[in-house]
Amino acid sequence: MGHGPAPCERMPPLSGFRIGVTAYRRAEEQAELLRRRGADVVLGAVVCTRPFGDDGALRAATEAVLTGPPDVVVATTGIGMRSWFAAAETWDLDGELRAALRSAHVVARGPKAAAALVAVGAPCDEEEPSERLDGLVDRLVARGVGGRRVALQLYGEDVPWAVDRLAAAGADTLAVPIYRWTAADDLGPAHRLLDALLAGQLDAVTFTSAAAVRSFVLLAEGADAGAEVREALSSTVLAACVGPITEAAAAAAGFERRTSPVRGRLGLLVRALSRELHERHTHLQARGGEVVLHGASLWFTDDRVVLSDVERALLVVLTERPGAVISRAVLRQRVWGGGCGDPAVDKGISRLRRALSPVGLSVDVVARRGWSVGATHAPCPLDALRAPVDVSS
């Protein structure tokens, strides 16, 4: 067939990959960023943010800040700071709150909180480089907070350890409750996302908060699938986390296959996920030329074939060792978990053959033994570009 060089450097980085998105806030924005890079997206919010009942607790905390201005203010989240000032505006207290923060030393836990402070006209005197609340509290304690008033903006969950640690160091600590994480109102999409993961139909799942990780685990355990989810997110499926805090929650949940950017930003999350999945593609030298298996897509020159879930799973197993004979029993176990008969395997192979015919890849029958792919692995041209240059000589 005489195909030209496989165009891996020109392929959309997420073409052929299916990504599950568990976010509640900015979910459509995240999905659009992923789709622009070629991904198929499955939305399934597992958590949402809600105010703490009525405004009583937040107003009381705000008035305490105004009557006894803090020496230190800890801004933990962007949505929290914006919501606090929006509520203060309804009480006609936003100007006083802004003035109280301007007289304090304001520390942001990360870039989102820092940006929100700027947006509401409040100062940001310092940003915690680790984006971790424990690291921020440790630094404040090390500097000395004895006798100082510290206002701590809560971020959806109680953090008694932080309040206790500051109090033990002598601080007068005021917790400011703004919102809380709860389960999403409609968990139907989240259950469909979970089903897709368990069916082997996802390449990655994104998490943009530690609460989303924990809620997803609870969802899986409620479906009696906790072990299967941990296995999937430790082997074939990538847990893509928005930053180090969320990744720490994913690690604690037992998800061993993870990626996250150094800083917690949505664009950086999409970039890290794209890089990780794009590097998983496979080059194959077939009789008709070179092709690239990229997720569920099979690329040759500027064209592609999109495989079904079963076709992709069969081809992945067959191309792990091109030319080797793969038995029916192995395919049955690897693709269907053993839960199918011979006709299902035969039908799957037949469909795969038809899908591969335009590409020049063949699946050859080896009588009474199984099948093999008529191809060999080829090096990726991008690997040479990524390799470090030896400048020692």
Q: What is the CATH number of the domain that holds 76?
A: 3.40.50.10090
Alpha carbon separation from 198 to 209, 259, 355, 372 (Å, rounded): 22, 20, 25, 27
- Identify the domain boundary among 246, 278, 310: 278
Question: Is 387 inside any structural domain?
Answer: no
Asked if residue 157 and residue 77 are part of one domain, the reply reads: yes
Query: Could you tell me if 317 and 376 lie in one domain?
Result: yes
Tens-of-pLDDT digits for all 393 residues of the chain? Answer: 444 444 677 788 898 999 999 998 889 999 999 999 999 999 999 998 876 655 788 999 999 999 999 999 999 999 899 999 999 999 999 999 999 999 999 999 988 899 999 999 999 999 998 888 999 999 999 999 999 999 999 887 778 899 999 999 999 999 999 888 888 889 999 999 999 999 889 999 999 988 999 999 999 999 999 999 999 999 999 999 998 889 999 999 999 999 999 887 889 999 999 999 988 888 888 877 888 898 898 888 767 889 999 999 999 999 988 889 999 999 998 888 877 888 999 999 999 999 988 888 889 999 889 999 988 888 887 765 454 434 333
pLDDT at 388: 46
Residue 267 forms part of a structural domain: yes
Overall number of domains in the chain: 3
* 311 and 327 part of one domain: yes
Predicted confidence at residue 7, as pLDDT, reads: 62
61 in the same domain as 164: yes
- Dihedral sign computed on CA atoms, order 304, 322, 331, 233: negative
Place of tokens 């399934």: 44
- Residues 216, 167, single domain; the answer is no
Residue 297 sits in a domain whose CATH number is 1.10.10.10
Same domain, 152 and 58: yes
Q: Which of 221, 251, 278 is the last residue of a domain?
A: 278
3-state secondary structure of 74: strand
Residues 93 and 151 in one domain: yes
Q: Is residue 146 part of a domain?
A: yes
3-state secondary structure of 356: helix
Across the chain, how many H-helices and E-strands are there? Answer: 16, 19
Q: Tell me whether residue 3 is in a domain.
A: no
Whole-number Å distance between alpha carbons of 329 and 370: 9
Indicate whether 129 and 236 sit together in one domain. Answer: no
Out of 179, 209, 239, pick the residue that ends a domain. 179
CA distance 204 to 246: 15
Specify if 250 maps to a domain.
Answer: yes
Does residue 123 lie within any of the structural domains? Answer: yes
Does 369 lie in the same domain as 289?
A: yes
**321 part of a folded domain:** yes
Predicted confidence at residue 323, as pLDDT, reads: 86
Distance, in Å, from the CA atom of 318 to the CA atom of 76, rounded to the nearest integer, reads 49
* Domain membership of residue 82 as a residue range: 51-179
Q: Quick one: 243 and 359 in the same domain?
A: no
Whole-prediction pTM: 0.78
Task: Name the nearest CA neighbour of 52 among 84, 15, 14, 99.
Answer: 84
Question: Does 191 lie in the same domain as 42?
Answer: yes
Same domain, residue pair 242 and 150: no
pLDDT for 250 equals 97
For residue 237, being part of any structural domain is answered with yes
